[in-house]
Structure 1
């Protein structure tokens, strides 16, 4: 079998950007999935849910995730150096009622969600999964909404990850989704894995043949359309930073209307206003900065997305906002500066100073931004080394992820990463291991290999099979 990644087409990427998901299928024989499902049933019956140990416990799963369809889909969305995150979960559904609509947290924690696909999930179905067996469903186009935006549990246009064994949903991490009723009552497994982009895009990583954004011909979303947002996301994934900034002019009447729209209680309308304002240079940035300091936190957050794509015009006002007395405003400003990357390098010293801020949410935002804004700065590496010993666990494990994104440039962090391999939190340890892997120096590899051998877990040792054969 050809093991080269089967990259997504332009049309598939257009659908992923607009709808937030794709339903795809691996090409393994039926016997492969029968064996995987049988092993899952045995493990669940005898041992319970293996949680983060899904891969070593059911080894066929790794074969599935190494298949060209999955590696191609992930490479297309997240770039060739994507990370398989340490958090994994096997969902068992035999319930005749639907689950509640939700977005997943980040391993039990919260953070500012990103419209750019830095994260993605795969939900893999190892058995034939018709609608009656209760597949996962999503609301197309809701990946960029913090609020639910739809009132009823039954959504016109709800999409189902149903199909033959080997069907999987590739989803933007933040899309609204739920489990659906399993009216058949037979065992239904769904294997959920999370993946992270480790490098900013510099060029398209899918099978790209066209340069300009084009909406899918059959687009029909249940909530709203976001033409500017979609075009900006396409350009961002193509390696074009700040592509919408200063591309249009607006008069005072238009700016006033958009300022009002920023306060719209219907989030899609407010988001469209934020993205449109980013196109209007300094006058649009002025409106967005006022929104950043708005008394309503939802207006502040929405304005942040506009500022994060507004280019150099936004930098000065965002740096000033780092002195705000409101932690949420500071957090939002940090997020936008991180997304502005090379435009915002002048903010690095002040961002590092905020690693001593009393609010952990601010420190978390700084650590995240440092791994995106600069991939080679000595001051950023020093700041992240400090963050590895922060009292807040989310600061510590986010520091590991940011160091992963910096790769070999973060070699000075290797001793600090080695020290946190004994951290009490599993994700601090896991992210430190990933950082050592992506740093990739001889010293990092030696520490990584030793740690993995010391913690080696035998996938065939169970209460029913302790030692032999």
Structure 2
């Protein structure tokens, strides 16, 4: 069902999302709708267990949730109108009187560099009234850009929870630190988790944008999280501005020297802010970041990659040169930064494709993601992604499929290889191949897609107790 009037986020809501890493919103379904949804969930969990990735076809009413204008509008605002509902989805069932552990969700492992720019987001949907005592999801505001868990036990009062009436949902940055809270009522608490991916880089604001400047937007309610240069850059990126920090501040030697100390320090949020600040400090700041990319401490190299990823076109030749480095982490970090510079980095594509012969699966996975972000020249990018579809590493293969969704119709040459991927033993390689075929959308792609969907169609009402 097409949503003609999605309820887009306001400037204030977008600033809150960028700063805090989450928004708590609510759909407008009736109590009877949610009561029926919870009844179905209880019956299925009792008799069949968790339906996992089959959550949508098994409980058809859930699809109505993701067609709701509030949810469509929130996702469109953050991820653009062509966002992808990921193949992985999961119904979380909480009866534990103890809170869960703080964590970030993985990307099928924890060794991938996480994007500060919102290429991914999650929705956690609560189909029943969920007071604090029932154990809603808790999030730690402002931690979406921190690799390490930097908050201490005495800061737990700042935890935010997705408590509320049936129909409440949390829209969260994929990388925020979160946990389940204690369910002390002893009644089942369901939370339906879905992942979403941006398939096109932002060319301009896709929310209900009124103000052009980050500083002109005032939050509706005060936030305990202080925003700074990182958050402002992300606002600019979402507004369609790539490398907006480059040269935006004076090239001050004393300031740069202080920022170097900050970059190499132990306080991660402060070090990350320094990386972004250095990106704004002209050629002097750029040179510091390029040197730091080769730093003995891999953590400093990673922070430098974030700074270089927002430093504009002038850093691209040096990043391409860094792809020849002997250290795996340096190569990986350089490739990541090139991807965030998108089509500005198209000169890097030949060397990125050459890295697909690298023994490091970590590097090859990053290259698959990066090629889809750069996107041009199309023929060379698609050739690299086709090679990725045939890689020995399953994560390389399924990342190739996701990246092909970002290329769309111009990836038609990949269709025969995607058809072969539909026989892959890994469910996500198959799932991402289907998505790639859908986004390519040519006659040949659609024929392959429809044949596969009909061959593997699943009856949502067939159960062990009702086989025909």
Q: Give TM class, smaller chain.
A: over 0.9
Is 2:200 aligned against 1:199?
yes
How far 1:19 moved relative to its partner? 0.5
- Distance in 2 between residues matched to 1:372 and 1:16, nearest whole Å: 23
Structure 1 109/298 Cα, relative in aligned 2: closer, same or farther at 3 Å? closer
Match of 1:364 in 2: 365
Structure 1 pair 56–375 and aligned structure 2 pair: CA distance change class (3 A): farther
Question: In the TM superposition, what are the counterparts of 1:321-332 in structure 2 within 5 Å?
Answer: 321-332=322-333
1:219 Cα deviation after fit: 3.9
Equivalences for residues 177-196 of structure 1 within 5 A: 177-196=178-197
Displacement of 1:251 in angstroms is: 2.1
- Counterpart residue number, 1:221: 224
Q: Say whether residues 1:256 and 2:257 are aligned partners.
A: yes
How big is each residue's C-alpha offset from its partner over 1:142-189, in whole Å with a ceiling of 9 and x where there is no partner? 111110111328623110000000000000000000000001011100
Give the corresponding residue for 1:60. 61
Q: Superposed, which structure 2 residues align to 1:22-41 within 5 Å?
A: 22-41=23-42
Matched, 1:88 2:125: no
Deviation at 1:108, TM superposition (A): 4.8
1:390 maps to: 391
Instruction: Look up the match of 1:265.
Output: 266
The 8 Å contact of residues 51 and 58 in structure 2, kept in 1 or not, is answered as yes
Is 1:239–2:240 an aligned residue pair? yes
Aligned equivalent of 2:106: 105
Contact between 1:123 and 1:192, CA under 8 Å: does it hold in 2? yes
Contact map agreement 1:376 1:406 (CA 8 A) in 2: no
Quote the Cα distance in structure 1 between the aligned partners of 2:111 and 2:206.
Answer: 29
Deviation string, structure 1 residues 100-123 (Cα, Å, up to 9, x no partner): 000001245642100000000000
Deviation at 1:376, TM superposition (A): 5.1
Deviation at 1:342, TM superposition (A): 2.6
- Give the whole-Å Cα distance in 2 for the aligned partners of 1:430 and 1:271: 35
2: CA distance, partners of 1:329 / 1:153: 36
Conserved 8 A contact 2:101-2:180: yes
Q: CA RMSD, aligned part only?
A: 1.4
C-alpha contact 2:306 2:337 (8 A) present in aligned 1? yes
Which residue is 1:76 aligned to? 77
For 2:6 and 2:223, how far apart are their aligned partners in 1? Answer: 30
TM-score where L is the length of structure 2? 0.97
Q: How far does residue 314 in structure 1 lie from its aligned partner after superposition? A: 1.2
Query: Is 1:430 paired with 2:431?
Result: yes
Secondary structure of the 2:172 match is strand
Tell me the equivalent position of 2:308. 307
* 1:15-35 deviation digits (Å, cap 9, x = unpaired): 001001000000000000000
- In the TM superposition, 1:327-346 aligns within 5 A as 327-346=328-347
Structure 2 gap ranges (5+): none
- Using the TM superposition, give the Cα deviation of residue 226 of structure 1 relative to its aligned residue in structure 2, in angstroms: 4.1
Distance 1:376 1:317, change over 3 A: closer
Asked whether the 8 Å contact 1:145–1:267 carries over to 2, the reply is: yes
1:374 maps to which residue?
Answer: 375
Q: Distance in 2 between matches of 1:276 and 1:111?
A: 24
Distance 2:243 2:224 in 1: 26
**Alpha-carbon distance, 1:320 to partner:** 1.4
Change beyond 3 A, Cα 1:46–1:377: same
Distance of 2:210 and 2:170 partners within structure 1 = 24
Give the corresponding residue for 2:286.
285
Contact 1:375–1:409 (CA<8 Å) still a contact in 2?
no
Work out whether residues 307 and 336 of structure 1, in 8 Å CA contact, stay in contact via their aligned partners in 2: yes
Per the alignment, residue 168 of structure 2 pairs with 167
| Cα displacement (A) at 1:306 | 0.4
CA contact (8 A) 1:103 1:176 kept: yes
Distance 2:105 2:45 in 1: 23
C-alpha deviation, 1:230, in angstroms: 1.1
- Indicate the residue corresponding to 2:140 in structure 1: 139
Paired with 1:4 and 1:399, the residues of 2 have a C-alpha distance of: 33
* Aligned residue-pair number: 465
Residues 410-437 of structure 1 deviation map (CA, whole Å, 9 limit, x = unaligned): 1110001001100010000000000000
Distance in structure 2 (CA, Å) of the matches to 1:140 and 1:426: 33
**8 A Cα contact 1:281 1:313, kept in partner:** no
Gaps of 5+ in 1: none
Report the CA distance shift for 1:327/1:283 in structure 2 as closer, same or farther (over 3 A).
Answer: same
CA contact (8 A) 2:37 2:127 kept: yes
Alpha-carbon offset, residue 205 of structure 1: 0.5
SS at match of 1:191: strand
Work out whether 1:297 is the aligned partner of 2:298: yes
Please report how far the alpha carbon of residue 249 of structure 1 lies from its aligned counterpart in structure 2 after TM superposition: 1.4
CA distance in 1, matches of 2:353, 2:224: 41
**2:252–2:281: 8 Å Cα contact kept in structure 1?**
no
2:364 and 2:50 mapped to 1: Cα distance? 34
Residues in 2 aligned to 1:303 and 1:152: alpha-carbon distance in whole angstroms: 29
Q: CA deviation at 1:350?
A: 0.7
Farther off after superposition, 438-447 or 280-289: 280-289
